[in-house]
Amino acid sequence: MSDNKIVFLEQSKMPTHYYNILADLPVPMDPPLNPATKQPAGPEDLSAIFPMDLIMQEVSTERYIEIPDEVRDLYRISRPTPLIRAANLEKELDTPAKIYFKYEGANPTGSHKTNTSYAQAYYNKKAGIKKLVTETGAGQWGSALSMACKHFGLECEVFMVKVSYNQKPYRKTFMKLFGATVHASPTNLTNAGRKVLEADPDSPGSLGIAISEAVEVAVQRDDTNYSLGSVLNHVLLHQTVIGEEAKLQMEMVDDYPDIVIGCAGGGSNFAGIAFPFIKDKLSGERKNLEIIAVEPASCPTLTKGKFDYDFGDEAGMTPLLKMYTLGHDFIPPKIHAGGLRYHGMASSISHLYNQGIISASAYEQLEVFKAAQIFAQTEGIVPAPESSHAVKEAVEQALKCKETGESKTILFNLSGHGFLDLGAYELYLENQLNGG
């Protein structure tokens, strides 16, 4: 670990604006559709569950959108996050590649999700909303929103996918500690949940089901909104502070990545690190830049899904989104990367993939944990199972460089730590983890 180079960016250089990739798409994305009329969905289709500021961000094509001061103040708790040269990992792999990672796990909730939770809670508070309802997979998004709500004095209710609720009991406690109410989804509290439980009382749940439950609760009250941790344009927009900072930090070490890697469930941390770099690729400045979204082999949305209109949730309450999808009723296997167990992929990322601007890969659970342990032992950070997918791809790319002798610069996003996922690591160490 002695050779690690940590690149700190001064707080005064923290980005003042989010980067909106919609301004730079060579071909525009297909719009979301109202599920009843099949016509493009307008702001009014979303106003029952989102505040107007966020809806405007959702549809904006402005290139840069200012970050409110109140949100930047909160970012200062842990931003800018460090960019770290993984010199010990390089040594262990004996690779000529240079590996950097952006570390988003050293903030209070342990993942990148606060980048958008602070913003979403802020805009909802501003709109007079009293309560936010949401879904969560592994619990990182729920944790981030719980903390943001506590800060802005909002109530918070979380539907946590049941399999993760059982796999990661500490996450539930974390959310409760910050005052949130947490349910294992599917529940008997909603029509959507009851319908699933009738068909399968032992349903492990899915993000799609949890979203349906949360939306159903949110639409019932005027003072209550829904909040989503990934997928939508405005959520991905908020995450671009990651990549904007990383670009400045790569500049500080006089380098620029040949390959940018992020794990992708709904796509938010991937977009966060990748979009600001994709801007350079689209402008022609960095034509050869490779950008890779990594997913679990057991939930292979980009690599094996269909590019089509589908619902964002299980019950079909959301607008239809054009995206790579495994079908909104797909129930992913019970892998421990709960944040990657989503049937679809953000429309913007799906569009970029369909256009050949980014590529994708998929790995099985066991090989991902193996890479995670090597990373932990060399770099001293236990990665979240989700983030470990990015680690695995970075290792693969570095080993490819070893074969070819190329000294490529690899940048990946370490979206969160795995302190609350050690239950899964215990199974891995005891050879009780399936391949997934």
Q: Does residue number 13 form part of the binding site for a copy of itself (CB under 8 A)?
A: no
Residue entry with tokens 């390089």 = 90
Q: Which stretch binds a copy of itself (CB under 8 A): 34-42, 217-225, 377-385, 403-411?
A: 377-385
Task: Determine, following the binding rule CB under 8 A, whether residue 108 of this chain makes contact with a copy of itself.
Answer: yes
Q: Does residue 426 bind a copy of itself (CB under 8 A)? A: yes
Binding of a copy of itself at residue 74 (CB under 8 A)? yes
Which residues lie across from 101 on neighbouring strands? 84, 412
Supply the angle between the helices 347-354 and 268-282 in degrees, to the nearest 10: 40
The answer to whether the CB of 118 falls within 8 A of the CB of 74 is yes
Run of H or E residues at 374: helix 365-379
The single residue among 47, 377, 404, 407 that binds a copy of itself, judged by CB under 8 A, is 377
| Least spacing, CB of residue 26 vs a copy of itself, in Å | 39
| Min dist. Cβ of residue 74 to a copy of itself (A) | 6
Rounded to whole angstroms, how far apart are CA atoms 233 and 9? 26
Please pick, from the candidates 380, 406, 434, 435, the single residue that binds a copy of itself as defined by CB under 8 A: 380
Residue 356: both structure tokens together: 């050949």
The size of the interface with a copy of itself (CB under 8 A), counted in residues, is 42
Q: Is 4 in the site for a copy of itself (CB under 8 A)?
A: yes
Check residue 381 and give left, alpha or beta (phi > 0: left; psi -120 to 50: alpha): beta
Q: Does 252 bind a copy of itself (CB under 8 A)?
A: no
Q: Is 23 in the site for a copy of itself (CB under 8 A)?
A: no
174 scored as a contact of a copy of itself (CB under 8 A): yes
The dihedral through the CA atoms of 336, 338, 340, 343 has a sign that is positive
Any contact of residue 73 with a copy of itself (CB under 8 A)?
yes
Q: Examine residue 6 and tell whether it contacts a copy of itself (CB under 8 A).
A: yes
Whole-number Å distance between alpha carbons of 358 and 109 = 29
DSSP 99-147: EEEEE--SSTTSBTTHHHHHHHHHHHHHTT--EEEEEESSSHHHHHHHH
Min. distance of Cβ 422 from a copy of itself in angstroms?
A: 4
Which residues contribute to the site for a copy of itself (CB under 8 A)?
Answer: 1-4, 6, 8, 11, 70, 73-74, 76-77, 106-110, 147, 150-151, 169-170, 172-174, 176-179, 373, 376-377, 380-382, 419-420, 422-423, 425-426, 429
